[in-house]
Structure 1
Amino acid sequence: MSNHQKRLSVPNSWPVERKENTFTVKADAGPHGESGVPLLIVLRDVLDYVDSRKEARYALNQDAVLVNGDAIADEARPIGMFDILAFPSREEFFRVFPGEGGRLALTPIDEESGSSRLGKITGKQQVSGGDFQLTLHDGTTTQVEDASDYSANDSLVVDNETKDIVAHFTYEEGALVTAVNGQHAGEIGEIDDIFVTPGSGRNSVTVTTDDGEFETIEEYVVTIDENFVGDDDE
């Protein structure tokens, strides 16, 4: 299987110039599905920390890059929405956040904010032993004894070291959300209304922002709190 990906066919979320070269690196299987951006692209094309795949591999072999608290050795590891990238030797920390047009962007944060990550609940099921498993937007899971307070579209903040849930944001009218896809990606506001579509149709929401209002489908918004607003101003 080829290790290369044609630039013209990469997902819109990838922060690469499509017409610069014919090929770019291909993401390995892993979190975030097809929308995951290879770590090499983040290091080389976004941060300008390395000039080549060889340099990226050297840095990763020194445990110089942490993703959600774990040292990463694979330069093709997919990076996606709300991942935390840490560079301990540089004392730099970033949260992957939606940018204009749905492209992934890096928001500088402090070390404390980088100790946990946000995840949107996409599934809930009971597992053997009686506990419940919550599946998050990136495909990772976490288990809880009682899932009665958790619902699909809620958001969790998970500690990178202990993997414990340290915060829970309920998806409901009045909740603060950010759009992560569609033409309003990156905009932040409060849910005004949730419209439930009967049958198999997609539910939609209207969101009120400082600049007005927009409507989008439910899958395109993620519940957050005030700590996710203005991280780059800290």
Structure 2
Amino acid sequence: MLKYCKTTKEVKQILNNKEVLVDGKRRKDERFLVGLMDVITIPSTKESFRIVFSDKGHLSYVTIDNKESKFKLSKISGKTLIKGGKFQLNLSDARNINIAKNDYKVGDTLQIEVPSQKILKHFKLDVGSNIMLTGGSHVGKNGELKTIVGKTITFVTSQGDEFETKIEHAYVIGDKKSAIKTEE
């Protein structure tokens, strides 16, 4: 995908030399999966990439700067009450974060510092939010959330196209404007 190597042998050699970071952690297993919003960093070349959806709906990558490589966005996919009256947030990338206050809702997005998992910002799934679609026939489209009616949302792209889709396909990427780079 990134075109740094051609064979599996080259992939293994690069990984064994500890030359690849995924979300700030060194990865040596060539079977380790990367997913939506993951940050891939190659320290030797000082390059960083974020996995996003292309406008065609395929997983792709965009080159990001050093500042943006220090965080990732994760959607809250579930919430659980645990021992001691604390809450556990279940995130879209299989992370779990324990919190004391119940300030977050399922569907909201957290900006998380990697690899420490410290919550930097909270983006609510609300009218006016900047979203990216992760499902349906408009996967990869970005735009402003206009209305929420039950489990259906309406959003407008920067080109002015208006679409309606399920609320579960909305991934908040910023308040008024995107907090991340989504295209080259």
Specify if TM > 0.5.
yes
Counterpart for residue 155 of structure 2: 207
The CA distance in 2 between the partners of 1:182 and 1:53, in whole Å, is: 34
Which runs of structure 2 are paired with 1:68-87 in the superposition (5 Å)? 68-87=23-42
RMSD over aligned CA atoms reads 1.4
Counterpart for residue 158 of structure 1: 112
1:81 CA displacement = 0.5
1:53 CA displacement = 1.2
| 1:72 alignment partner AA | R
| 2:130 alignment partner AA | L
Q: Which moved more, 1:208-217 or 1:223-232?
A: 223-232
SS at match of 1:63: coil
The CA distance in 2 between the partners of 1:228 and 1:158, in whole Å, is: 12
The CA distance in 2 between the partners of 1:120 and 1:215, in whole Å, is: 20
SS at match of 2:10: helix
Q: Give identity over the alignment, percent.
A: 32
The answer to whether structure 1 residue 227 and structure 2 residue 155 are counterparts is no
The CA distance in 2 between the partners of 1:180 and 1:159, in whole Å, is: 22
| 1:162 alignment partner AA | S
Q: 1:142 to 1:48 in 2, by over 3 A?
A: same
1:65–1:88 CA contact under 8 A, matched in 2:
yes
Total equivalences in the alignment: 180
Counterpart for residue 136 of structure 1: 91
Counterpart for residue 174 of structure 1: 128
2:54–2:183 CA contact under 8 A, matched in 1:
no
| 1:227 alignment partner AA | A
Counterpart for residue 59 of structure 1: 14
1:217 CA displacement = 1.2
The CA distance in 2 between the partners of 1:102 and 1:230, in whole Å, is: 12
Consecutive unaligned residues in structure 2, runs of 5 or more: none
TM-score by length of 1: 0.73
More strand by share: 2
Counterpart for residue 103 of structure 1: 58
1:101–1:183 CA contact under 8 A, matched in 2:
no
- 1:81-114: CA deviations, max 9, x gaps? 0000000101100111111332101011111100
The structure with the largest alpha-carbon Rg is 1
SS at match of 1:228: coil
1:229 CA displacement = 4.3
1:102–1:182 CA contact under 8 A, matched in 2:
no
SS at match of 1:60: helix
The CA distance in 2 between the partners of 1:160 and 1:181, in whole Å, is: 26
The CA distance in 2 between the partners of 1:75 and 1:119, in whole Å, is: 23
The answer to whether structure 1 residue 122 and structure 2 residue 77 are counterparts is yes
Consecutive unaligned residues in structure 1, runs of 5 or more: 1-45, 197-202
Which runs of structure 2 are paired with 1:7-26 in the superposition (5 Å)? none
The CA distance in 2 between the partners of 1:86 and 1:192, in whole Å, is: 35
Q: 1:229 to 1:92 in 2, by over 3 A?
A: closer
| 1:52 alignment partner AA | T
1:129 CA displacement = 2.7
